[in-house]
């Protein structure tokens, strides 16, 4: 099979008519993860995640010179077609192992990301399955502040009457109503500049 990808030419020409011929578009040549949060969020107003070309690129970033963690770069690229554009020969063994884990994670949740309902703003993204039984949430921190307050992240699109468990690591049970109206706590002390966090929620029903 051959996949054609069209190009937005720097983000200015993400043409909906081209989706008839090419099911995805290279969202922008600006591949910096923090810049991409704004770019991909803005694109989501009109286009589905499945149409957005999104890659993990090398650091320092070619466009802005910023150095962001490999985990953050992947957490942003995850909400799109997901791929890599960097020299594997320059990576450490630890980075290669992390990339293997990232690819496995992306493949595991590919259907949810490509076919789920997307909700987002410029600091958090969320995809919910059509049956509301599964949700993937990404939180993005730009710049840290001293003694920053804890934040609450309010989720959307869940079934208020269902019970949800937050990934295997936390093993905490929530109701959909609780997650949407009380949210989950984001501890600012756990986040440095340009960091991110991914949460997975599954219905227990």
Six-digit token pair at 48? 């589905």
Active-site residue, 15 included = yes
Question: Which is catalytic among the residues 5, 29, 85, 95?
Answer: 95
Three-class DSSP labels, 134-160: EEEEEEEECCCCCCCCCEEECCCCCCC
What are 63-118's pLDDT values in tens digits? 999 999 999 999 999 999 999 999 999 999 999 999 999 999 999 999 999 999 99
Q: Can you give the pLDDT at residue 102? A: 98
Question: In which band, very low, low, confident or very high, does the pLDDT at 17 lie, cut at 50, 70 and 90?
Answer: confident
Q: Can you give the pLDDT at residue 124? A: 96
Active-site residue, 95 included = yes
Question: Which is catalytic among the residues 15, 35, 159, 167?
Answer: 15
Of the chain, the end-to-end C-alpha distance in Å amounts to 38
What are 46-55's pLDDT values in tens digits? 899 999 999 9
DSSP 13-62: ---GGGGGT-SEEE--S---HHHHHHHHHHHTTTS-GGGEE-EEE-SS-T
pTM over 0.75: yes
d(CA 29, CA 26): 8
Six-digit token pair at 166? 């937050």
What are 130-153's pLDDT values in tens digits? 999 999 999 999 998 888 788 899
């Amino acid at each position: 099979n051959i996949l054609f990808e069209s190009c937005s030419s720097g983000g200015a020409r993400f043409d909906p008519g081209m989706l008839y011929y090419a099911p995805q578009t290279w969202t922008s040549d600006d591949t910096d993860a923090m810049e991409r949060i704004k770019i991909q969020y803005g694109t989501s107003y009109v286009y589905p995640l499945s149409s957005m070309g999104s890659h993990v690129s090398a650091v320092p970033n070619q466009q802005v010179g910023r150095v962001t963690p490999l985990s953050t770069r992947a957490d942003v690229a995850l909400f799109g077609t997901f791929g890599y554009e960097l020299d594997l020969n320059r990576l450490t063994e630890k980075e290669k192992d992390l990339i293997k884990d990232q690819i496995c994670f992306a493949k595991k949740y590919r259907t949810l990301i490509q076919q789920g309902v997307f909700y987002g703003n410029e600091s958090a993204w969320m995809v919910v399955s059509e049956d509301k039984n599964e949700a993937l949430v990404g939180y993005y921190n730009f710049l840290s502040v001293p003694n920053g307050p804890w934040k609450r992240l309010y989720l959307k699109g869940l079934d208020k009457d269902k019970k949800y468990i937050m990934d295997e690591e936390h093993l905490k049970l929530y109701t959909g109503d609780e997650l949407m109206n009380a949210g989950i706590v984001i501890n600012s002390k756990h986040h440095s500049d340009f960091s991110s966090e991914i949460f997975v929620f599954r219905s227990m029903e």
